[in-house]
Amino acid sequence: MYMPLMIDVRRAVVFGGERGEGLQKTEKLSVYADELLVVPESVFPAEFILLAAGRLPHVGEELSLGTERRVPVAAEAAAAGNAGRFIEGATFVVSDLRDRSLNETISGLCRARGILCNVIDTKDLCSTWFMSLIDTPHLLAGISSKGGCAYYARQTRIELEEEFRSREPVAEILVDLRDRVPSGVERNEVLDAVYRDGEFSRLRREGRWIEARSRAEALFGGLLAARAAG
């Protein structure tokens, strides 16, 4: 069984990440990985892949880079003899190579080192796989068909995206309040009182966000004052 988790992708390596679906994964990981390396299927004519700031062109989700990113490309093409060296210290490895035996080698090396690995469209070589993402400033959701049908995961994400993004303003308000709850006060108790308040609920249903924030702030201040007095 696979359980969804959020991980800190400190260093990612994408074999075959210069073209096709591998490039999609390179772009997607560029948003989240601290370090990112592409190991090409054949010798690549440039030292890096330039990803411009803004919406990523090969990714289906609405993912963007805040600033330009240059993703380094290895000077050597992927091979059984150098794969171990390239994945050393990696948190996550992806492969979109056409050579099944080389993908098996990479998967085996990752398994032996305890590195999460995704071989695109080859479930038996994967220890994890990508999800279809909805990413807003304060919310992140991943949708998966458990590796069965990426197409339907993508369609489900498209159908849910508008509803999910409509919840972002509420998340922004509650995240801000949560960060200001003093130590010694039960955060969830305070947030639940704000979230379930009838007036706050009405204002957020109507999309009146300035008034909703003012109501939340008033409730928040009143709750903290009452606890301090008690």
Per-residue confidence at 229, pLDDT binned at 50, 70, 90? confident
Q: What share of the chain is helix, strand, coil (3-state, %, to 5)?
A: 45, 15, 40
Q: pLDDT at residue 204 above 90?
A: yes
Lowest mean pLDDT among 52-66, 95-109, 144-158: 144-158
Q: Which residue in 167, 190, 193 sits closest to 179, CA to CA? A: 190
pLDDT confidence bin for 2, thresholds 50/70/90: confident
Each residue's pLDDT tens digit, 159-201: 999 999 999 999 999 999 999 999 888 999 999 999 999 999 9
Cβ neighbours of 194 (radius 10 Å): 20
CA angle 16, 9, 15 (to 5 degrees): 10
List of E strands, 52-198: 54-55, 64-65, 69-72, 92-95, 116-119, 132-135, 140-143
| Residue 184 confidence (pLDDT) | 86
Residue 215's contacts (CB-CB under 8 Å, 6 or more residues apart) are 197, 199, 200, 203
Tell me the pLDDT tens digit for each residue of 45-58. 999 999 999 999 99
- Residue 147 has a pLDDT of 77
Cα–Cα distance measured from residue 94 to residue 221, given in angstroms and rounded to the nearest whole number: 48
In the chain the beta strands, taken as DSSP E runs, fall at 11-15, 35-39, 48-51, 54-55, 64-65, 69-72, 92-95, 116-119, 132-135, 140-143
Q: How confident is the model at residue 5 (pLDDT cuts 50, 70, 90)?
A: confident
